[in-house]
A = this chain, B = another copy of it.
Amino acid sequence: MKIALIPFNPIVGDIRGNIKKMEKILEKLVIQKIDLAVFPELAVCGYPPRDLLDKPAFVEDNQKAVTKLAKKSKKIKILTGCVDLIDTKNSKKIFNAAAYLCDGEIKQIAHKTLLPTYDVFDEDRYFSASKSTCYININNKKFGITICEDLWFSHFHKYKIDPVKELTRQGIDYLINISASPFEEGKLSTRIDLIKNTARKNNIPLFYVNQTGGNDGIIFDGGAVFADNHGDLHALSQRFNETPLIIDTNSIPEKISRKKPNSCEEIIDALALGVHDYTKKTGFKKVLLGLSGGIDSALTAALAVKALGNENVIGVSMPSIFSSEGSITDAEKLAENLNIELLHIPIKPMFDCFLNNLSPHFKNKKQDVTEENLQARIRGCILMALSNKHGYLLLTTGNKSELAVGYCTLYGDMCGALAVISDVFKTKIYQLSKYINRHNEIIPSGSITKPPSAELKYNQTDQDSLPEYHILDGILKLYIEDHKGFYEIIQSGFSKETVYKIIQLVDRTEYKRKQAACGLKISKKAFGEGRRIPIVQNYIPLDHCAI
């Protein structure tokens, strides 16, 4: 039996378009004499549909689409993720489901048992949990069906039911898992270990397929896997694209060993996919970004070119009187290296004009952060005007370290539809930039070697007000990604004063992040949908400030 695992890249909500695309894929697979085509979790509507699930019409349309897709199952059996509704007198229950389509009909529907409700996941908000497990029969073989989190029982300690164990008890021959498992740096190893261990522990061969593509800030790295009942890996598809992995159960490929992906390479691939899909799925062709001559905007530009091609990326240099000559030439050099269009719009005339008109209302107050922010906001106005006039999507270029401590200007450099590197710490920005330059210089060396600076006043550098980035990032990682408290972070070797200052900065600048652009997620805890900290809150650890 030939099984095709398709790391499908849907558009969320686009039921009509997704089904059409699935039908095209199926036509090709029929020619290849595939018996069973397997699409990922919620392939019909895309993952995550979020509150679209609150619309009864949306749920109904999902069901109608599956009925339509079933017509294609005369020539090829189909297993696909979809939304299911069970409508009884007393209640309407919605399930995250897998529909088995065969002989032109919906033969069986399996429901997801374990519903992730943490980080970016809100499945308890929408779905009812299945109380039973389900297998399908094909050619006298039993295929147990699981959906994403159903496989992750052993990874968490909070679930009470192990759906894989339940299925194994029922004497299945194979296990299938359809997933929509978001990319995170290094997560592939965790995922593959889980697949291998589950296959081995349950003595069951396992087919796995994951969604591909960027949906808002979440990037799905795709990938399909086949592991045998000893937990040995026999096939592993490419990541970040939709190429099906085809396994013939009568002729299993040889065992393979996997290489751990290069961390820089996988992050760059993920971010480029995120930029590509956000741009294309919203119907844009070209993107625009400010080029300061600094490393953040340089890296963002390089990623955008990788995603969309140099002809679709426009850089804008907007020097102020505080911009160094080196910054201006570095921006030019970058544009030259990437072969992208570069516009020059110095901001001095607008800055002077604002200051003249505001001065009567500044009441002889000293220069302060106001003037710095104003320059950033003038740049925001320019970029948005170009975006509006030409229909370019604006990318924002801030990194995770500065977004964490609020070292960025709301409505200024934070303007933009997509924050490409807002989940990448500054120390990692350097690593990625050096990786991009590994063969030849793309990001100008000046952008990498000069001390980071916002260049919003004379002789300013980031380290005037922030600790060195390796210290800052160390603290931020513990605080934001690992949920460590004040006391625990100090125990990791950081000074009390620095930790307290940084924690305060993070907490006090939540209001900026609430209005930040959608950011691409590459860590286990990115700012945005998956991190829900109140704006107005005053938690000061009791360790620090005895009650």
Residue in contact with A281 in the complex, picked from B485, B538, B545, CB distance below 8 Å: B538
Docked complex Cα distance between A92 and B410 (Å): 38
Give the complex CA separation of A533 and B19 in angstroms: 21
Please give me the residue from chain B that is nearest to A487 by CB atom: B57
Known interface pairs A362-B389, A368-B388, A538-B17. Does A532 touch B529 (Cβ–Cβ under 8 Å)?
Answer: yes
1/0 contact trace for A379-397 toward B, CB 8 Å? 0111011101110000000
| A 114-133 contacts with B by CB, 8 A | 117-118, 122, 124-125
CA distance A46 to B539 in the complex (A): 10
Contact B532 A50 (CB under 8 A): yes
Q: Per-residue 0/1 for A48-84: is the Cβ within 8 Å of any B Cβ (1 yes, 0 no)?
A: 1111101111100100110010000000000000000
Q: Determine if A278 is an interface residue (Cβ-Cβ < 8 Å).
A: yes
In chain A, residues 332-384, which have Cβ atoms closer than 8 Å to a Cβ of chain B? Answer: 343, 345-346, 349-350, 353-354, 356-358, 361-362, 365, 368-370, 373-374, 377-378, 380-382, 384
A518 within 8 A of B: yes
Check if A184 is an interface residue, CB within 8 A of chain B.
no
Question: Which of A105-113, A432-440, A467-475, A509-517 lies at the binding interface?
Answer: A509-517
Query: CB-nearest residue of chain B relative to A350?
Result: B353
Which of the residues B90, B389, B483, B486 comes within 8 Å of A157, measured between beta carbons? B90
A346: which B residues are within 8 A, CB to CB?
A: 357
Of B61, B349, B533, B541, which contacts A61 at CB under 8 A?
B541
B contact residues around A56 at 8 Å (CB): 483, 485
Q: Which residue of B lies closest to A118 (CB)?
A: B125
- Is A11 on the interface with B (CB-CB < 8 A)? yes
Q: Tell me the bound Cα distance from A12 to B488 in angstroms.
A: 22
Flag if B378 contacts A538 (CB, 8 Å): no
The answer, yes or no, to whether A256 is at the interface (CB within 8 Å) is no
Per the bound structure, the CA–CA distance linking A118 and B54 in Å amounts to 10
Q: How many A residues face the partner with a CB closer than 8 A? A: 101
Asked whether any CB of chain B lies closer than 8 Å to the CB of A536, the reply is yes
Verify B64–A542 contact, CB threshold 8 A: yes
Chain B residues, CB < 8 A from A125: 117-118, 122, 124
Residues B345 and A358 in contact, CB atoms below 8 Å apart: yes
Instruction: Decide: B389 and A384 in contact? CB cutoff 8 A.
Output: no
Chain B contacts of A345 at CB under 8 A? 357-358, 361
Q: A51-B533, A483-B55, A537-B52 are in contact. Are A65 and B542 (CB under 8 A)?
A: yes
Tell whether A91 is near chain B: CB-to-CB under 8 Å. yes
Q: How far is the CA of A417 from the CA of B511 in the complex (A)?
A: 7
Q: A277 vs B13: C-alpha distance in the bound complex, in angstroms?
A: 38
Q: Does A15 contact B (CB under 8 A)?
A: yes
Q: Is the CB of A15 within 8 A of B547?
A: yes
Q: Contacts A12-B537, A485-B58; is A388 near B361 (CB within 8 Å)?
A: no
Task: Report A60 CB to chain B, min CB distance, Å.
Answer: 8
Contact residues in B for A369 (Cβ distance below 8 Å): 388
| Contact indicator B357/A52 (Cβ below 8 Å) | no
A13 near B538: Cβ-Cβ < 8 Å: yes
Identity of the chain B residue whose Cβ is nearest the Cβ of A370 in the assembled complex: B388
Q: How far is the CA of A537 from the CA of B53 in the complex (A)?
A: 13
Per-position binary interface string of chain A over residues 448-490, scored 1 when its CB falls under 8 Å from any chain B CB and 0 otherwise: 0000000000000000000000000000000000011111100
Q: Which residues of B contact A541 (CB under 8 A)?
A: 57-58, 61
Please give me the residue from chain B that is nearest to A355 by CB atom. B385
Does A493 sit at the interface, judged by CB under 8 A?
no
Q: Please encode chain A, from 266 to 284, with 1 for each CB lying within 8 Å of some chain B CB and 0 for all others.
A: 0000000000011001100
Q: Indicate the member of A65, A487, A515 with the most B CB atoms within 10 Å.
A: A515
Judge whether A531 is part of the interface by a CB distance below 8 angstroms.
yes
For chain A, residues 22 to 59, give those with C-beta under 8 angstroms from any C-beta of chain B. 45-46, 48-52, 54-58
Q: Given A48-B534, A531-B51, A542-B64, answer yes or no on A368-B389 (Cβ-Cβ < 8 Å).
A: yes
Among B157, B358, B538, point to the contact of A11 (Cβ < 8 A).
B538
* CB-based closest 7 A-B pairs: A57-B485, A13-B539, A13-B537, A14-B538, A370-B388, A124-B124, A12-B537
